[in-house]
């Protein structure tokens, strides 16, 4: 198990233990995404993150350059290389979007409710 998953599992176990009820899969998923976002937020604030993104973009650019070099007469190779360029582009796009979504994830409601129930001063 990864540290992230262990941390999320620990939070889930604590919430379930404190509330005496099992969390739904959606609630668990919310905790996993929120935990990923907390970890990714630290990484994306470093210069190295920009280097990672640049490297990923370079893969797409290199594959695209290879596509341009192919003769249109080589239909099967053009189609195959186009598929590679498309897949790499989508991978980059989805990766960045997933990272941004995880970072912007709000604290799961089940965790907010537990904190509020444990801290009367937080309840108006």
Predicted local distance difference test score (pLDDT) of residue 2: 56
pTM of the model: 0.77
Residues in Cβ contact with 95 at an 8 Å cutoff, skipping those fewer than 6 apart: 56
Higher-confidence residue: 14 or 2? 14
Which pair of structure tokens corresponds to residue 67? Answer: 């596509």
Is residue 47 left, alpha or beta, with left meaning phi > 0 and alpha meaning psi from -120 to 50?
alpha
Please compute Rg for the chain using Cα positions.
22
Of 93, 94, 97, 89, nearest to 63 (Cα)?
89
Q: What is the mean pLDDT of residues 71-92?
A: 96
Question: How many separate domains does the chain show?
Answer: 1
pLDDT tens string 30-69: 999 999 999 899 999 999 999 999 999 999 999 999 999 9
Give the residue numbers spanning the domain of 28. 3-122
Predicted local distance difference test score (pLDDT) of residue 121: 57
């Amino acid at each position: 198990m990864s540290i992230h998953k262990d941390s999320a599992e620990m939070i889930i176990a604590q919430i379930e233990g404190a509330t005496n009820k099992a969390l739904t899969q959606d609630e668990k998923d919310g905790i996993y995404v929120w935990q990923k976002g907390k970890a990714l937020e630290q990484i994306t604030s470093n210069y190295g993150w920009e280097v990672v993104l640049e490297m990923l973009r370079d893969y797409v650019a290199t594959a695209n350059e290879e596509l341009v070099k192919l003769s249109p007469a080589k239909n099967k190779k053009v189609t195959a290389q186009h598929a590679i360029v498309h897949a790499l582009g989508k991978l980059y796009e989805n990766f960045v979007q997933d990272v941004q979504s995880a970072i912007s994830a709000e604290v799961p409601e089940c965790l907010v409710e537990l904190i509020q129930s444990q801290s009367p001063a937080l309840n108006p």
